[in-house]
A = this chain, B = another copy of it.
Amino acid sequence: MIYLDYAAATPLSEKAKKAMLPYFDEKFFNPSAAYLPANEVRKEYEKAKGDIAHVIGAKAADLVMTSGATEANSLVFAAIPNDAEVLISTIEHPSILENAKQKQYRTIAVDKNGRIDLDDFRKKLTPNTQLVSVCFASSELGTIQPLSDIARIIQEERTRRAFAGEVTPLYFHSDASQGLGLAEIKVARLGVDLLTINAAKVYGPKGIGALYVGRSVRLKPQSYGGGQEMGLRSGTENVPATIAFATAILDAEKHLGGERKRLAELRNKFKRQLEKQIDGIEFLSKDKVQLPNFLPVTILGLDAERLIFALEDKGVYLSTGAACAASKGEKSPTLKAIGLNDEQIAGSLRITLGRPTTEEDVVAAVKAIAEVVSAERKRLADS
């Protein structure tokens, strides 16, 4: 089996699994209980939160733990009145787009590599904009966004509002689900007020994520109860998953430099081989602004879904567009936004590499893709 869909899901790392296991039985205590073993669990939970926060340049008190990225994103949008203006990029994940649809939203154009058009952003930012939400990196293209440039424009608008005596708040949010563990992500450097992170894409477990909440931000709880997470997200803490998330993210941080280099080299090799062996293949976005493990391509004249099923027979697993949208048969808004035509969209595959990916995998995957493409072209020519 050659799995090439690490943007959709990563396996839990051995280290994270090992760290988590005792918290299911030996240390299963409710962190809110009064006795000593429960207090210890509380401390370990808080330490884990501190570790996670540290990786993004924040403190435990800045994080609200959630059940994943979608909940974190939804918590951000819940803070914004329904009649407030919201700006998102044209290439956001459904968990941003569908939340934006609950508000008055507009989309910011991107260039052919999927990067935000800053002029378009300036034009669309109005005195009524209360939230700007732009992903750290696109989940379909891996394109990294110029967040600190966006932050600068937002800061200008805030200054203008302050001088004009306008009190409308303006928050800058980024979903960094794609990118965590593959790039330097520090909230201060990016200039964001709110940042979504997610364990399930960084070799942590499913069902745990977090929202970084800057000091100036006022959120509205979506769940009420015991008052956990500073009252912003009640419910017994998911201790095992948080411990595993911390272990996974610290481990990713530790190996970031080397792994980024290794993945980029592997990806570039993959690219060169595909280019050599397959006619009519186009590469989406470009290396310079892309996460190192992303290799989105389009193969002209072919249907990506057919290719995927044929590759499955050869034990190669990859995806068309985002996994979330893929299962619903909709055309990817991201691929439309970067100007692809219907033929290009129909033939688009998202290849994403991961920690377990080896050079042998790349060689075997290229061979399998080339065979499948050639068989499919033959079938089409014959019919």
List A residues at the B interface (Cβ < 8 Å): 1, 5, 8-12, 14, 17, 21, 24-26, 28-30, 32-38, 66-71, 73-74, 77-78, 93-96, 98-99, 101-102, 200, 205-208, 222-227, 234-241, 305, 308-309, 312, 317-320, 323-328
A238 cross-chain contacts in B, Cβ below 8 A: 67-68, 206-207
A26 vs B34: C-alpha distance in the bound complex, in angstroms?
A: 38
Pick the contact of A17 from B25, B99, B101 — CB < 8 Å?
B25
Instruction: Give Cα A1–Cα B73 distance, bound, in whole angstroms.
Output: 42
Known contacts A234-B95, A240-B205; A30 and B227 CB within 8 A of each other: no
Q: Is A33 in contact with B11, judged by CB distance below 8 angstroms? A: no
**A9 with B236: CB separation less than 8 A:** yes
Shortest distance between the CB of A208 and any CB in chain B (Å): 7
Contact partner of A32 among B25, B71, B200, B323, CB < 8 A? B323
Evaluate whether A68 and B235 lie within 8 angstroms (CB atoms) in the complex, with A10-B28, A11-B25, A324-B32 already known: yes
In the complex, what's the smallest C-beta–C-beta distance from A247 to chain B, in angstroms? 13
CA distance A68 to B32 in the complex (A): 16
Tell me the complex Cα distance, A69–B238, Å.
Answer: 12
Other than the given A9-B29, A32-B324, A95-B234, 4 more pairs (CB < 8 A) read A9-B30, A34-B320, A66-B67, A101-B224
A17 to B208, CA, bound (A): 18
- Inter-chain CA distance A99–B235, complex, in Å, is 12
Q: Is the CB of A70 within 8 A of B236?
A: yes
Q: Which residues of chain B come closer than 8 Å to A95, judged between CB atoms?
A: 223-226, 234-235
Known contacts A70-B236, A206-B236, A227-B328: A5-B25 contact under CB 8 Å: no
Q: Min CB distance, A204 to chain B, in Å? A: 10
8 residue pairs from A and B, CB less than 8 Å apart: A10-B28, A12-B25, A33-B326, A34-B319, A71-B223, A73-B223, A206-B238, A207-B207
A67 near B235 with CB under 8 A, answer: yes
Name the distance in Å between A71's Cβ and chain B's nearest Cβ.
5
Would A33 and B17 be within 8 Å (CB), given that A69-B235, A236-B68 are in contact? no
**With A36-B312, A224-B95, A225-B95 in contact, is A235–B70 under 8 Å at CB?**
yes
Nearest Cβ on chain B to A331's Cβ, whole angstroms: 15
Of chain B, the residue at the smallest CB distance from A73 is B225
- A225: which B residues are within 8 A, CB to CB? 70, 73-74, 93-96, 98-99, 324
Report how far A226 CA is from B305 CA in the complex, Å: 19
C-alpha spacing A70/B25, complex, angstroms? 22
CB distance from A359 to the nearest CB of B (A): 22
- A97 CB to closest chain B CB (Å) equals 8
- What separation, in Å, do the CA atoms of A356 and B96 have in the docked complex? 45
Query: Once the chains bind, are A12 and B35 in contact (CB under 8 Å)?
Result: no
Taking a contact as CB atoms closer than 8 A, the residue among B5, B33, B318 that contacts A5 in the complex is B33
Q: How close is A7's CB to chain B, nearest CB, in angstroms?
A: 9
Q: A24 vs B226: C-alpha distance in the bound complex, in angstroms? A: 29
Q: Which residue of B lies closest to A9 (CB)?
A: B30
Known contacts A29-B9, A99-B225; A67 and B319 CB within 8 A of each other: no
Measured CB to CB, the nearest residue on chain B to A8 is B30
